[in-house]
Amino acid sequence: MTFYLLRRVAILLATLLAASIVVFVVLQVLPGDPAALILGTGAREDTLAALRHQLGLDAPMWLRYARWLGGLLSGDFGTSFTYHVPVAELVRQRVLVSLPLALFAILLSTAIAIPVGVAAAARRGGAADAGLMGVAQIGVALPNFWLGLLLILLFAVRLPWLPASGFPGWDAGLWAGFRALILPALALALPQAAILARVTRAAVIDTLGEDFVRTARAKGLSRPAALWRHAVPNALIPVVTLIGLQFSFLLAGTVIIENVFTLPGLGRLVFQAIAQRDLIVVQDLVVLLAGSVIVVNFLVDLAAAWIDPRLRRAGA
Amino acid sequence: MTRLLAVALAGSLLAGFATMSTAQAKDTITVGMVLEPPGLDPTAGAASAIREVTYGNIYEGLTRITAKGEVKPALAESWSISKDGLTYTFTLIDGVKFHDGTKFDCSIVKFSYERAMAPDSTNAQKQLFEPIASVACPSAGTAVVTLKRPTSLFLFDMAWGDAVMVAPKSAATNATDPVGTGPFKFKQWVKGDRVELERFHDYWGSRPQLSAVTFKFISDPSAATAAVLAGDIDAFPLFPAPEALDQFKADPKFTVHVGTTEGKTILALNNAKKPFDDIRVRRALAFAIDRKAVIDGAQSGYGAPIGSHYTPGDPGYVDLTGTYPFDPAKAKALLKEAGIKPGFQMTILLPPPPYARHGGEIIAAMLEQVGIKAKLVPIEWGQWLDQVFKRTDYEATIISHTEARDLDIYARDKYYFNYDSPDYKALYKQFVETVDPKLQMDLVGQLQKKLAEDEPNVFMFALAKVGVANAKLRGLWDNDPIPANDMAGVSWAE
């Protein structure tokens, strides 16, 4: 188990390093000078040079990379070119929007998908199964930003129940903040729920055909009892793996959804930082997001091991 | 309407306490802005949003620009200019303090200007300070600025946000913790949401009527509309949803302010690239574009046609909008004369603002009528600055030049549209170096005419300032002679 953990941590670090190199190189290739964006069209060449020097952009590429990486290792994420505040502070404020949004969306998605998937599997081939999976098929095809706009039209314009966009901040009250996240979370969750429901259905159908389920039925368990006590727990592994993958996807998906709903989260920060060529913010956020994806995958593996003891032994 | 009602209800529930306190005489204001400023230091960045929060509120210069675009005294109560136009002697106001208690005197003037001129200066408008030879302090209350050559716009230039007074102690941290001499001092900045200012009690001038000013950033047009309707925003001076204006016009609780800005919107052409080096082609494009239709289509009808790189509000404006009236037949004839065959293709790069993206569609349709196929390419700012502005690797682009009275850009040796006219340069030199105001106005007219004649770019229209505000607010600026939301003279009626 120790060796297993060490190996995972080593892979994690190597992946992060690779991500940091990729994002750094891509941003160097991308046209657009941060100093020119800050100083505008009236700036003189010497002013641009002075600002580039102040931002440390005149150093050779490898040195800039080394400085950045050194900073990251010592916990210094650098200072935003546009906001002039430490990136860590910016991220801290934005995480308080994005993380609750992603968690909320994943909870919604799971809460919808598992009952639907199990129900469809239990009535495999019936009208309910066809109906549920038909809806899921549409859900898979829907882009989340379009769904977001539809939700705004329905629940903020036609039925004025929820705010159309914006985020009042958690200091405006827990309920006010939560309300603002309902529509974006739904927009994120529904297409994910559709995929998850299909996978759940397939996994449950698979296990329903297994010998141990037939044995359970043969020893006198009712259909629902056999389903929930034997089939569903054994079908959970692909489902949990997918939830983990979806969490990573949700972190990325918030870029679009946060722009549709003008939420001041990480996704919007990335978007603005790219437009503003706030290189240091983009670099930090990409590494941070890559890091969280890797950590989530790791946690998913642990969860899978917890669900299925066989994996634990195999991994040790 | 139901939605608005709900927004209003939600707004008042959320605002709760704030709404109750407005029952008393209101002396605070919340101003809406589309973009959040990147830092709060106007001496270290070009973004208009920095000035829209800070100009006249937090920071002041020796001179200031009024709502009408005139130059008036600010921290310098008076000045005298030597006969040769080279020496400006400013008498400074006595007893001025910065928000942190630092005393304002000539040493501050010297520091501020020298900082902007220094080799490591990151002032976005460093060229404004380039004519300065030296700053001397014969006494604490007198500043003597000597110029290298007469500069007729010097007092105007020193009123820009880039030329405000900053103190040595606070200059380096002004971006996040601004300290100036203005009527309002910085309270806090909730990033991504709002900046709060409060009345500065030791202000040297007349006490501002407002006790607090909040600038709130809302980029989404429908959210902006809802926030104004709900009363969460008292004034939105550059309102992003022109389609919602009729609703506000019909409601007596609101006033719609329509004014002018300095935003000269042009179809910029690369004069160094064939066939745009041919004056007949440039004139043909000017004849082919119906300015009125572009304003109607891209700006909901708000905006004033221009015929040169100068706006109707600027001193010495000459109406040249009749130089190239909309005349597709004439455009076709000119193109034929220049050897341009029907079906000629050109590429127009479109930066993000609606005037460019919407305007581009309309202009492409108009060019189609005279046999030009315009390929529209959307482009983001970073790429625009690199490809168009720096490398001048483009044919045409749509852009608004928001700097006031910037006729100088056509006299520069290298500027992105590659206009190179020795005549214009000579004329411009004469204009900036003359000290005779009458001759100056004559020359500024000649400069405009020269540009209209050469039509290096197709001059289209000046952006309008369209704002929405609570009808009880007094003293808001109608026009935008420089980017600013000067709150010193704003008050509530009753």
Contacts of A168 in chain B (CB under 8 A): 14
Give per-residue pLDDT as tens, A193-232. Answer: 888 888 888 888 888 888 888 888 888 888 888 888 888 8
CB B249 within 8 A of CB B300: no
- Per-residue DSSP letter, B439: H
Rounded Cα distance between B268 and B464, Å, is: 19
Q: Quote the pLDDT of residue B486.
A: 95
Contacts of B120 in chain A (CB under 8 A): 50, 53-54
- B10 in contact with A, Cβ within 8 Å: yes
- B380 in contact with A, Cβ within 8 Å: yes
Nearest to B300 by CA among B359, B385, B349: B359
Q: Quote the pLDDT of residue A258.
A: 85
All domains in chain A, ordered by first residue: 2-74 (no CATH), 87-315 (1.10.3720.10)
Residue of higher predicted confidence among B257 and A2: B257
Task: Please name the residue of chain B whose CA is at the shortest distance from the CA of residue A261.
Answer: B220
Cβ contact A32–B223 (<8 Å): no
Arithmetic mean of pLDDT, B188-194: 84
CB atoms within 10 A of CB B22: 13
Q: Quote the pLDDT of residue B12.
A: 42
Task: Please name the residue of chain B whose CA is at the shortest distance from the CA of residue A264.
Answer: B192
Greatest CA separation found in chain A? 86
Q: Quote the pLDDT of residue A313.
A: 61
**What's the CATH superfamily of B28-36+176-259+465-492?**
Periplasmic binding protein-like II (3.40.190.10)
Per domain, the residue ranges of chain B are 28-36+176-259+465-492, 61-173, 262-464
Q: Which CATH architecture has domain B262-464?
A: Roll (3.10)
* Paired residues of B469 in beta bridges: B235, B255
Arithmetic mean of pLDDT, B115-123: 93
Contacts of B382 in chain A (CB under 8 A): 30-33, 36-37, 275-277
- A275 in contact with B, Cβ within 8 Å: yes
3-state secondary structure of A259: helix
Cβ contact A54–B390 (<8 Å): no
Task: Please name the residue of chain A whose CA is at the shortest distance from the CA of residue B18.
Answer: A172
Q: Quote the pLDDT of residue B446.
A: 96
**What ipTM was assigned to the predicted interfaces of this complex?**
0.76
Residue A8, pLDDT > 60, answer yes
Query: Residue B458 — pLDDT band, cuts 50, 70, 90?
Result: very high
CA B382, distance to chain mean position in Å, is: 20
Q: What is the pTM of this model?
A: 0.81
CB B405 within 8 A of CB B273: no
Strands B212-217 and B28-33: parallel
**What's the number of CA atoms in the CB half-sphere (13 Å) around residue B58?**
31
Indicate the CATH number for domain B61-173. 3.90.76.10
Q: Kind and range of the H or E element at B81?
A: strand B76-81
How high is the mean pLDDT of chain B?
Answer: 91
- Per-residue DSSP letter, A157: I
Residue A131, pLDDT > 60, answer yes
Q: Quote the pLDDT of residue B29.
A: 96
Closest CA of chain A from B367, distance in Å: 28
CB B461 within 8 A of CB B303: yes
Arithmetic mean of pLDDT, B17-22: 42
| B46 → closest Cβ in A39, A46, A94 | A39
